[in-house]
Amino acid sequence: MDTLYIILGILVLIIVYVVVSMLRLGKAVVNLTQEEFIEGYRKAQLIDVREPKDFEAGHILGARNLPYSQLRQRYKELRPDLPVYLYDQNGGKSARAALFLKKKNYEHLYHLTGGFRKWTGRIKSK
């Protein structure tokens, strides 16, 4: 019986954590469909947060590579006065990148829902 209460307690903590994370993300970044993303990314800083080998294999035309693993050291390469459009392979790392940038006072943050794996627009590859 005690084990059941421990498992239920852990489940409740996980659910609370997920809900709080989603609320924080909702305040930090605007999730965009591909069509909405295409409408605005040409007037913004388009950032691919995947690792260089993934970026070189194919990326959205006009994107700059700023890997998530290097974001803490290189985020000042981004202008805080311009919108930042972020994407990665699936959406997880770019969402975390948006949360980090929000803490660093970047205000206009946009995220490609579904990431590059769902992208059907123009790409560039080597």
Compute the average pLDDT of residues 60-65.
95
Packed helices 2-28 and 92-103: angle between N→C axes, nearest 10 degrees = 70
Residue 26 predicted with pLDDT over 60: no
Nearest to 99 by CA among 23, 28, 49, 17: 28
How large a percentage of the chain has pLDDT more than 90?
60
pLDDT at 5: 81
- Could you give all domains of the chain from N- to C-terminal order, each with its CATH number? 29-124 (3.40.250.10)
Residue 126 predicted with pLDDT over 80: no
Contacts of 124 (CB under 8 A, 6+ apart): 58, 59, 60, 61
Compute the average pLDDT of residues 27-41.
87
Q: Which residue has the higher pLDDT, 20 or 102?
A: 102
0.75 exceeded by pTM: yes
How large a percentage of the chain has pLDDT more than 70?
90
Residue 24 predicted with pLDDT over 80: no
